Structure 1
Amino acid sequence: MELVWRPLTTADIPAVAALYNAAEAIDDTGELLSEEDFAESFAEADLPRGSLAVLVDDELAAYGLVVLRDNPAGTHRVRLDGAVHPKFRRNGIGRQLLASLVASSRELHSERHPTMPLTVSTMVESRSAGHVALAEEAGFTAQRHFYELEVALGESLAQVPIPPGYEIVPFSPDRDEEVRQVTNSTFAEHWGSVERSPEEWASSFTNSKRFVKETSFLALAQGAVVGFVLARHYPVVEEMTGVRELWIGDVGTLAEHRGRGVASALLSWTLAQGRAQGYQRAGLSVDTANSTGALGVYERAGFGVARTWIDFGLPVLLG
């Protein structure tokens, strides 16, 4: 089998989305992505130098992306994404692809952050035995586990009162920069978190078609933002499963306001509003080692574990 390796281009988006969904039909990770989702990812990537398409007789057999972050601190943690089409698996393509993506990460890192340590990482759904084996064979080790949680938005949703001294208001664009700064402060000590630049913030939220401001809410104390729930909607999930899902992308409260029920009230309010807007389910991801008590907040809101994801990391020697 002769393989052709080249960088991805935006013209590959339909083929990449088709490959991804063919793999998802077998792997059942629950992570559903559309052509629009890949268009957003491609827009943020260095396609000429941080991507790969692997072709067999002009058919896309595999793809890979190097996902860089703005403003790394301490260690530059670079994520590697990709997939091999099921019919081309067990031919060593995944092994070669992963090694090539690590090499590309090293090159891009050396140019952008030459004095900083580099770790490459990849997220693997825990039941994907082949993917787990591939990561471990390449020297990656499990560094963190994340629960993917879900709750049905039915009549039994718990209603949590807003604590005295706080109010909940809808997200509004005029608070965009304030919310960015509050989220950066809230997540500053979270594992793997980096400060979002205005550009990265805009691509993830205000300029993203997936961000839903109508079901994103802020907690205010004396008129200032002290907490937030920022939600997204992925139409492909509804198209492929028939379930309209509200994805809770970010939940947080400033440290000095924790332990007062602010996050619980915000989440309760968001779920109730989501239900009123026709969403049937809400989902989110949480670090199992989160030290802020977030998992307890979600469990009390009715969320249960649907899947477990493993963040595999590999420190990369430079020079």
Structure 2
Amino acid sequence: MELVWRALTTADTPAVAALHHAAETVDDTGELLSEEDFAASFAEADLAGGSLAVLVDDALVAYGLVVPRENPVGTHRVRLDGTVHPDFRRHGIGRELMGRLVALARELHTARHPDMPLVAKTMVESRSAGHVALAEALGFSADRHFYELEVALGESLAQAPIPPACEIVPFSAAHDEEVRLVCNAAFAEHWDSVARSPQEWAASFTNSKRFVPQTSFLALHDGAVIGFVLSRHYPVVEETTGVRELWIGDVGTLREHRGRGVASALLSRTLARAKAQGYQRAALSVDAVNPTRALGVYERAGFRVTRTWIDYGLPVGSSSSPA
């Protein structure tokens, strides 16, 4: 089997989406992405210097993407994404793909943050035995676990009280920059969190087709933002599963206002609005050892753990590579 290796281009978007769908049909990780989703991420990526396409007889059989951080602090953790088509697994393609992605990550890192330590990371769904085995065989270690949680919106939802001197209001563009700054402050002590620049914020929220401001809420104290719930909707989930799902992307409260029920009040109103808008389920992801004890907040709101993702990391020196 002769493999052809080259960088991805935007013309590969349909093939990448089809490959991802074929892999997801087998792997069942819950990571459902459309061609439009890949097009959006490729528009932000350095495809020429940070991607790989693997072809057999001109057909895409594997792909990889290197995703550096814009504003790393302390350590530059570069994410490696990708997959191998199920029909072409067990041929060593995944192992070589990861090795080449690590090398690309080193090159991008050296050009952007040469004085900072580099860690190559890859997210693995805990039940994906082959992916787990590959990461560990290449020397990656499990650095962190993240829970994916869901709550059905069919039954009555408890309405958490609004804390005194606090106001819950729908998200509005007038607060956009303030919310970005509050979000950066709220997540400042979280593991592997970096401040979002105005450009990253716009890509994730303001200019994103997936952001749903009408199902996002802010908590105000004396007119200032102190907490937020920011939601997204991925149509491909409904198209694939038949379930209309609201993805709660970010939930946060400023440190000085925690412990008062701000997040619970925000969540309950978000879920109520989602139910009224026809959503059947809400889902989110949380660090298993979140320092703000967010897991308890979500469980009290009715969320239950459905999946576990593992953040695998590999320290990369100037000349090191996976075994």
Give the TM bin, normalised by the shorter chain. Answer: over 0.9
> One-letter code of the match for 1:116?
M
> One-letter code of the match for 2:316?
V
Q: Deviations over 1:145-185 (max 9, x none)?
A: 00000000123311101111001111111111100000000
- Aligned-partner Cα distance in 2 for 1:291–1:229: 18
Percent identity of paired positions between Structure 1 and Structure 2: 78
- Aligned-partner Cα distance in 1 for 2:286–2:154: 22
1:190 aligns to what? Answer: 190
> One-letter code of the match for 2:109?
H
2:112 aligns to what? Answer: 112
> One-letter code of the match for 1:134?
L
Structure 1 residue 20 and structure 2 residue 6: aligned? no
- Aligned-partner Cα distance in 1 for 2:250–2:189: 15
2:277 aligns to what? Answer: 277
Q: Deviations over 1:20-63 (max 9, x none)?
A: 00000000001100001101110111000100000000010000
Q: Deviations over 1:241-298 (max 9, x none)?
A: 0000000000000000000000000000100000001100000000001010100000
1:259 aligns to what? Answer: 259
Count of matched residue positions in the alignment of Structure 1 and Structure 2: 319
- Aligned-partner Cα distance in 1 for 2:198–2:69: 12
Moved more, 229-238 or 69-78: 69-78
Structure 1 residues 58-137: aligned runs within 5 Å: 58-137=58-137
1:151 aligns to what? Answer: 151
2:141 aligns to what? Answer: 141
Structure 1 residues 236-255: aligned runs within 5 Å: 236-255=236-255
Aligned residue for 2:168, secondary structure, equals: strand
2:215 aligns to what? Answer: 215
- Aligned-partner Cα distance in 2 for 1:305–1:144: 16
- Aligned-partner Cα distance in 1 for 2:5–2:192: 31
Structure 1 residue 315 and structure 2 residue 320: aligned? no
Tell me how large the CA RMSD over aligned residues is.
Answer: 0.6
1:176 aligns to what? Answer: 176
> One-letter code of the match for 1:242?
G
- Aligned-partner Cα distance in 2 for 1:90–1:103: 22
Q: Deviations over 1:61-119 (max 9, x none)?
A: 00000011211100011100000000000000000000000000000000100000000
Q: How far does residue 227 in structure 1 lie from its aligned partner after superposition? A: 0.1
Q: How far does residue 144 in structure 1 lie from its aligned partner after superposition? A: 0.3
Aligned residue for 1:251, secondary structure, equals: strand
TM-score, with structure 2 as normaliser: 0.98
- Aligned-partner Cα distance in 1 for 2:256–2:318: 40
1:293 aligns to what? Answer: 293
TM-score, with structure 1 as normaliser: 0.99
> One-letter code of the match for 1:84?
V
- Aligned-partner Cα distance in 1 for 2:313–2:287: 15
> One-letter code of the match for 2:116?
M
- Aligned-partner Cα distance in 1 for 2:220–2:122: 36
> One-letter code of the match for 2:9?
T
> One-letter code of the match for 2:233?
H
Question: For structure 1, which runs of at least 5 residues remain unmatched after alignment?
Answer: none
> One-letter code of the match for 1:318?
S
- Aligned-partner Cα distance in 1 for 2:150–2:77: 28
Aligned residue for 1:69, secondary structure, equals: coil
- Aligned-partner Cα distance in 1 for 2:172–2:77: 31
Structure 1 runs of 4+ with >3 Å offset? none
- Aligned-partner Cα distance in 1 for 2:155–2:164: 26
Aligned residue for 2:274, secondary structure, equals: helix
Aligned residue for 1:275, secondary structure, equals: helix
- Aligned-partner Cα distance in 2 for 1:51–1:168: 43
Aligned residue for 1:12, secondary structure, equals: helix
